[in-house]
Amino acid sequence: MSVNELPQEILSQILGLVTAPGGSERRDRHHAEHISQARLVCRQWNSVAVGHLFHTITLRHGEGVGDFRTWHQMIDSPLVRDVASTTVIETYPETLFEVDFEAFTAWEAEGVYPAFTHAINRVMELGKLRTVQVSFSEHCAGLEYENEASGIYFETASSRNHTLRSVFSAILQRAKDPAASKIITLALINLQNLPNPDFVTTDLFRNVMEDISQLKLQIANEDTGVGTTTNGQLWQIDRRLFEPFLQQHWLAPISDQLTSLDIGFNELWGSIPAYFDGEGLLFSRLRKLRLYNFTISHHKHFDWVLAQKSLKCLILENCYIATYIVLAKADLEEWDLPTDDWDRFPDGAFGFSREAEAVFSFNGTWKIIFNRIEDELPHLVTFRAQYGTAGKAASSELNLLSPSRYIVFEYGTTPSTWVEADMQTGEMIFGDNNPSALPRRWMDGLTHPLKRRKLNVAKGRQDEDGIALDSLVKTLRQRTWCQ
């Protein structure tokens, strides 16, 4: 049998492997070039390849500076309109040189950018659309920040809200066409962590969200300049206000309809400076949850995840248990963080200032988390815990249990106040690594440095964590075989 004699569905699967996402822009572009060449083989191949090549179409700035020429050319094609099921709307230019500056100024100030809104509205012509992704800039400008011509476009909160309203309006208008497919998947990339009650309490928001069953929220924090540290972001009020807002206005209203939730922040979240407990969140139909950059710092902190009894797939990516925490005493009082599960060291422990800093430890373990996942999620069949950009997966083999699964928070360190353990050894640095409450830090007057002790929480808990993970993996395998 020749290739051309294969059933259309088989040929489509083969070409689909050619265009499978490669995990990098360069590799994806390489696959796109291959599938473009495959279109030239014959009419049969062209008809199949088009579905893969234009499965996802992207509206981006920088092509024609303001006229979105490529986008319009794609939607003008009947072939593209017939196969596109995913659209990505990029809301920003990568540099100021790619922006119609006058148009963007009017967009930020007044929400007026006819060329952009017209391009967004053309999603109404995509009859088979099922997924919409809005990709904002990772560079956030706060409400009081004055944008500077630094070569990087800091997308303002007003610009982001105008885009959200325009996209949601186009989706709602499209839903009036009875022949059009429902948009069920919404992905918001680099959604800024600013409460926006003027948007999420509208009928526009509610009417669009009522059809969404798969939601991805990747949250970005304000960054007001190149090189801004996460340390500096701790005192921005949005870091403390957004997490409860996220639970109340983004998650709770659609909790009964979600089947898939992918949620995380670009920085570690959940513990400091805001505490996300998820209490009361019940996703009755949720099958898949991907949680990333989440820190666990209390014994009930993971309860909201374990409450989702319908889960079949749970992915924890760069999620940690906080073991040691040092906070400025003034911040501890202002932030009103729960400390009931924390043990406090005497002032001056680990070499920190007696007058200014409070030092705590938390005795939570991954053994407890793994055991509870096994016992409390009866329908779970897939579990992954992975760390680092390569996504090193946890497994039942003890030597593959990530040494960096525990973390410490040290007030005042840069560029991040969260100090990760070494990914190879698990060794951590927390102050001078000496729990003794010495009179003064050596740098404040002692004549010689203290001999630094090795702190390695992961190594000390390797056996118990590994046995618990091994039991979890074994149970999930047995469930899979029984299905």
Instruction: Find the mean pLDDT for residues 114-132.
Output: 94
- DSSP letters, 339-371, are -TTPEEPPTTBTT--TTTEEEEE----HHHHHH
Strand partners, 428: 455
Residue 205 has pLDDT above 90, yes or no: yes
CA-CA distance, 239 to 364, in Å (whole number)?
24
**Is residue 182 left, alpha or beta, with left meaning phi > 0 and alpha meaning psi from -120 to 50?**
beta
Encoded tokens for 87: 């659209």
Question: With bands split at pLDDT 50, 70 and 90, how would you rate the model's confidence at 52?
Answer: low
Spell out the residues 6+ positions from residue 119 whose beta carbon is closer than 8 angstroms to its own.
59, 68, 71, 72
Query: Quick one: which of 190, 380, 373, 376 has its CA closest to 288?
Result: 380
For 471-480, write each residue's pLDDT tens digit: 999 999 999 8
Pairing of strands 392-393, 382-387: antiparallel
Instruction: Find the mean pLDDT for residues 153-182.
Output: 92
Are 35 and 52 in contact, with CB atoms under 8 Å apart? yes
CA-CA distance, 77 to 74, in Å (whole number)?
5
Q: Which comes out higher in pLDDT, residue 207 or 78?
A: 207
Encoded tokens for 128: 């088979």
CA within 13 Å, CB half, 309: 3
75: helix, strand or coil: helix
Longest dimension (CA), the chain: 84
Weakest mean pLDDT among 150-154, 213-217, 430-434: 150-154
Pairing of strands 320-328, 357-361: antiparallel
CA-CA distance, 313 to 315, in Å (whole number)?
7
Query: Quick one: which of 272, 255, 312 has its CA closest to 288?
Result: 312
H-helix or E-strand spanning residue 260 = strand 260-269
Encoded tokens for 115: 């060329």
Are 129 and 84 in contact, with CB atoms under 8 Å apart? yes
Mean pLDDT, the chain, rounded, equals: 81
Q: Which comes out higher in pLDDT, residue 248 or 96?
A: 248
What is the number of helices (H) and of strands (E) in the chain? 17, 17
Q: What is the pLDDT of residue 223?
A: 66
Instruction: Find the mean pLDDT for residues 354-373.
Output: 94
Instruction: Find the mean pLDDT for residues 166-185.
Output: 95
Instruction: Find the mean pLDDT for residues 266-280.
Output: 92
Beta strands (DSSP E) in 43-110 are 56-59, 86-90
The alpha carbon of residue 180 and the mean position of all alpha carbons in its chain are separated, in whole angstroms, by 30
Residue 437 phi/psi, 5-degree rounding, is -90, 85
Q: Which amino acid is at 381?
A: V
Instruction: Find the mean pLDDT for residues 449-455.
Output: 59
Strand partners, 326: 359, 410
CA-CA distance, 128 to 181, in Å (whole number)?
5
Spell out the residues 6+ positions from residue 224 whose beta carbon is closer than 8 angstroms to its own.
141, 142, 145, 154
Q: Which amino acid is at 477?
A: R
Q: What is the pLDDT of residue 107?
A: 87
Q: What is the pLDDT of residue 28?
A: 46
Residue 393 has pLDDT above 50, yes or no: no
Neighbours of 32 (CB within 10 A): 15
128: helix, strand or coil: coil
218: helix, strand or coil: strand
Question: What percent of the chain has a predicted confidence (pLDDT) above 70?
Answer: 75
Instruction: Find the mean pLDDT for residues 298-303.
Output: 96
Neighbours of 215 (CB within 10 A): 21
Query: Quick one: which of 279, 292, 228 has its CA closest to 251?
Result: 279
Residue 129 has pLDDT above 90, yes or no: yes
Residue 264 has pLDDT above 80, yes or no: yes
- The pTM score is 0.85
For 5-38, write each residue's pLDDT tens digit: 545 555 455 445 554 444 444 444 444 444 455 4
Domain parsing of the chain, residue ranges: 1-52
